[in-house]
Structure 1
Amino acid sequence: MNLNAPTFSQFDHDGLKIAFFDEGEPSGDPVLLIHGFASTATVNWVHPGWLKTLGEAGYRVIALDNRGHGASDKPRDAEAYRPWVMATDAIALLDHLGIEKAHVMGYSMGARISTFAALANPERIRSLVLGGLGIGMTDGVGDWDPIADALVADVIDDITHDRGRMFRMFAEQTKSDRDALAACIRGSRDLVERSDMGKIDIPTLIGVGTRDDIAGSPQELAALMPNARALDIPNRDHMLAVGDRVFKAAVLEFYASL
């Protein structure tokens, strides 16, 4: 087994083909990984070392390419990307693999999808790790319309919005379908009610970089939940926190404590 080059498979759900990998220790506790906006399972979880870290710790490591991303199908309708709709892809993958219950870890948009999955199917989720998204889960993370506009702009030189330019460059680097991503960002921004966060009693770890200007406070989000704790990932911004060793060590410690 080559942890650096996972083999992807596909399954059908909601009229779409969804790509995923299933690696690590086959008999280990399953961990389902849900990546962030404009990323892929490989970019979010393999390159930063999560597959290697979790696999070597004895876990079965599963990750999907969210619809609109990577090798999965890419609808152009924003309604196809509502977070509760995308959450059904994750639960359907557990069904496809015959997994009754899994640890679920999401980063950024993946954290939002994970939260909607936990609200709809709490019995399927053993624990939650929410990375790269704090109180922005309930309060919003700013105006993302300029990012959608940047993704579909004719030329990158026309983009004056700094964050829009950053995501456009990232999308080009990952050779993403920019029209699908624009639809995704317009459809996937639904917030979670603060009262609904309080209904999630699944053990939860919320990790956010101390230089992350998108996520919002992890402590404020954890305070809304009955069984959550916050982790500051030192000196990391939104893009770099995901692979940080402090984050990885905290997740392994969190899992070991359950």
Structure 2
Amino acid sequence: MPSFHNGAVEIAYLDEGEGDPILLVHGFASTKNVNWVYPAWVSELKKNGRRVIALDNRGHGDSSKFYDPREYEIATMAGDVTALMDHLKIERADIMGYSLGSRMTAVLARQAPARLRSAILGGIGIGLIEGGGPGENVAKALEAPSLDDVTDPVGRTFRAFADQTRSDRRALAACLRGSRRLMTIEEAAEITVPVLIAVGTKDEIAGSARALGEIISGARVLDIPNRDHMRAVGDKVYKTGVLEFLADRP
């Protein structure tokens, strides 16, 4: 698996297929494989004539691990994405995130719009602005001696997922604490690139997709029926909606 260095951090990534590039940014406690390869996103996008790039975020997968929350400030993590684009000599790309990856994508859409042909925000709605997402309860669950010691239901969900993916739980706890900065309404309203917001109708973590869509001018909203935060990722409605959005966007 290829990798590159962005300063002190080594970022693992995949780069497959040919055509217009799309860069995929996974969610908290996930990896490029769990979020994008195993649910067949990479193969589906390649089949539709796209060059697909996906990275392991710092603290995740095969990328460098840090234990200081300051290493995971959301803009710093987003900078790894543009550094990868520079490494691959990609000037502009469609960028699709999920959950934490969508927070990173939204930062890029606001701060570096010239690098994005579009932004696809999966698994994040008004939680981008008003909170939502895992909190200190999840960080403590990750640091607990075992899953049996975790009683908080959301904490148990993320702890079980981290155990399943064999993640560095201490690095994840630092990431969670360091990447909590929310966008303001004014900042989100400054996003001008084409945006698709895709959230499961049973997602209790992301917050309302339509509420966020009312703030980002021209954003398209995709409801993923009967899916929660974890199960929306590989849904057929999600894939179809993304492919239609990519075909329609300027």
Q: Output the amino acid matched with 1:251.
A: V
The reply on whether 1:21 has 2:14 as its aligned counterpart is yes
What is the number of equivalent residue pairs in this alignment?
249
1:243 counterpart SS class: coil
Off by >6 Å, runs of 4+ in structure 1: none
Q: Output the amino acid matched with 1:191.
A: L
How large is the RMSD of aligned CA atoms in angstroms? 0.9
Q: Distance in 2 between matches of 1:230 and 1:155?
A: 39
Q: Distance in 2 between matches of 1:255 and 1:155?
A: 42
**1:1-258 superposed matches below 5 A:** 8-25=1-18, 28-141=19-132, 144-258=135-249
Q: Output the amino acid matched with 1:206.
A: I
Q: Output the amino acid matched with 1:173.
A: Q
**1:53 to partner: Cα distance:** 0.8
Could you tell which deviates more after superposition, 214-223 or 142-151? 142-151
Q: Distance in 2 between matches of 1:217 and 1:163?
A: 18
Q: Output the amino acid matched with 1:189.
A: R
1:18 counterpart SS class: strand
CA 1:211–1:20: 2 relative to 1, 3 Å: same
**1:160 to partner: Cα distance:** 0.6
Q: Check the 8 A contact 2:133/2:206 in 1, yes or no.
A: no
1:230 counterpart SS class: strand
2:59 counterpart SS class: coil
Q: Check the 8 A contact 2:110/2:191 in 1, yes or no.
A: yes
Residue identity over aligned pairs, in percent, reads: 54
TM-score by length of 1: 0.95
1:231 counterpart SS class: strand
Q: Distance in 2 between matches of 1:182 and 1:14?
A: 22
2:2 counterpart SS class: strand
1:17 counterpart SS class: strand
Q: Distance in 2 between matches of 1:79 and 1:120?
A: 20
**1:120 to partner: Cα distance:** 1.7
